């Protein structure tokens, strides 16, 4: 019987919203042990302090980075060079770098770090171990390091090429906000049709939960739609109205294209 691999020693650089979500998910799932987690953050964050309370090291001396097997970059794209440059000389020879930043090519990060690099675009639902994450690396070791970190907290999708990462960022990384915006619009439409604002919001949120439960079955999307949209029914009438106007397709295309353009501007 093969022994389970020990969780890696991880250094997380940056603990904003996404970094905090990763910390919460890693510790809750056991993907990273508290005593194997180093967090570098310029300001106090609740997730980092909670991790400190169970054994994580917060802003230790740079020399402690030598023990990190994986270094996760979770800073803003504009700040990554300033964050990584002073750390690079302290990394161990076998360390792998995993970037969750949008728009920064792996080759640029690898050149500065002097270490193989993988790129990952996760959603913040990794905090609840219900995220999705797009992965890419040309280095097998870095890709495996990314899988080990994100497999326990997300459904992982390995991309065929790095230039697909911007589209993956738009669809998965930004996608939940687009879905929430649609639910918000659905609630406003319900209120405009006679529901109280509170009732409309509660029903729209419930609709999203119900849709999520359907997605968990793994059934094709068109099958899920067909299960609800019976011929001649109210759902079919609503779907036909959206499709005939083209507004849904235009809104989705505009949102994804704008997010891709923004990612490529970093």
Is the CB of residue 252 less than 8 Å from the CB of residue 178?
yes
| pLDDT, tens digit (0-9, with 9 covering 90-100), for 91-141 | 999 999 999 999 899 999 999 999 999 999 999 999 999 999 999 999 999
Q: Do 132 and 50 belong together in one domain?
A: yes
Whether 188 and 200 have beta carbons less than 8 Å apart is answered as yes
**Residue 217 confidence (pLDDT):** 93
Using CA atoms of 256, 258, 262, 265 in order, give the dihedral in degrees to the nearest 10: 110
3 inside domain: no
Same domain, 128 and 232: no
> Based on the domain organization, do 130 and 197 belong to the same domain?
no
Q: Are residues 32 and 115 in the same domain?
A: yes
The pairing of strands 131-136 and 117-122 is antiparallel
Mark whether 142 and 235 lie in a shared domain: no
CB burial readout 125-145, b (16+ within 10 A) else e: bbbeeebbbbbbbebeebbeb
Bridge partners, 11 (sequence order): 38, 71
- Is 189 contained in some domain? yes
Nearest to 144 by CA among 68, 90, 70: 70
Q: Is 70 annotated as a binding residue?
A: no
Specify the DSSP class assigned to residue 169: I
Residues 72 and 201 in one domain: no
Q: Is residue 122 part of a domain?
A: yes
Q: Which domain CATH number covers 225?
A: 1.10.3730.10
Q: Are 59 and 156 part of one and the same domain?
A: yes
Mention every residue, 6+ apart, whose C-beta is less than 8 A from residue 99: 72, 73, 80, 106, 109, 117, 118, 119, 120
Q: Binding residue per annotation — 76?
A: yes
pLDDT in tens for each of the 266 residues of the chain? 445 578 899 999 999 999 999 999 999 999 999 999 999 999 999 999 999 999 999 999 989 999 999 999 999 999 999 999 999 999 999 999 999 999 899 999 999 999 999 999 999 999 999 999 999 999 999 999 999 999 999 999 999 999 999 999 899 889 999 999 999 999 999 999 999 999 999 999 999 999 999 998 999 999 999 999 999 999 999 999 999 999 999 999 999 999 999 988 87
Same domain, 197 and 157: no
For residues 134 and 180, membership in a common domain is answered with no
1 within a domain of the structure (yes/no): no
Is 123 annotated to bind a ligand? Reply is no
Q: Is residue 4 part of a domain?
A: no
CATH number of the domain residue 139 falls in: 3.40.50.720
Residue 124 and residue 231 in one domain: no
- Which residues constitute the domain of residue 67? 10-165
66: in domain: yes
155 and 237 part of one domain:
no
pLDDT of residue 173: 85
> Cα(130)–Cα(127) distance, rounded to whole angstroms?
7
**What domain count does the chain have?**
2
Which of 132, 165, 198 is a domain's end point?
165
Domain's final residue, options 112, 130, 165: 165
**Any idea how long the chain is?**
266
Q: Which of 116, 145, 165 is the last residue of a domain?
A: 165
Asked if residue 72 and residue 30 are part of one domain, the reply reads: yes
- pTM flag (> 0.75): yes
**35 lies in some domain:** yes
């Amino acid at each position: 019987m093969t022994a389970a691999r020990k969780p890696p020693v991880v250094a997380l650089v940056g603990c904003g919203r996404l970094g905090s979500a990763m910390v919460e998910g890693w510790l809750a799932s056991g993907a990273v042990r508290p005593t194997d987690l180093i967090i570098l953050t310029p300001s106090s964050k609740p997730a980092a302090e909670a991790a400190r309370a169970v054994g994580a090291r917060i802003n230790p001396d740079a020399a402690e980075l030598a023990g990190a097997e994986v270094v996760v970059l979770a800073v803003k794209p504009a700040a990554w060079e300033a964050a990584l440059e002073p750390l690079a000389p302290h990394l161990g020879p076998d360390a792998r770098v995993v970037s969750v930043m949008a728009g920064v090519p792996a080759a640029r990060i690898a050149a500065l770090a002097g270490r193989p690099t993988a790129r990952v675009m996760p959603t913040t639902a990794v905090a609840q171990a219900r995220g999705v994450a797009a992965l890419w690396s040309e280095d097998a070791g870095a890709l495996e390091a990314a899988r080990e970190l994100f497999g326990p907290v997300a459904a992982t999708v390995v991309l065929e090429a790095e230039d697909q990462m911007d589209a993956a960022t738009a669809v998965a990384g930004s996608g939940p906000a687009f879905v929430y915006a649609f639910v918000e619009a659905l609630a406003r439409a319900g209120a405009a049709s006679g529901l109280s604002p509170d009732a409309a919001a509660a029903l729209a949120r419930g609709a999203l939960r119900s849709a999520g439960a359907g997605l968990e079955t793994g059934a094709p999307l068109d099958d899920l739609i067909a299960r609800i949209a019976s011929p001649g029914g109210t759902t079919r009438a609503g779907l036909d109205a959206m499709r005939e106007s083209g507004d849904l397709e235009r809104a989705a295309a505009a949102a994804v294209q704008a997010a891709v353009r923004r990612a490529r501007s970093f």
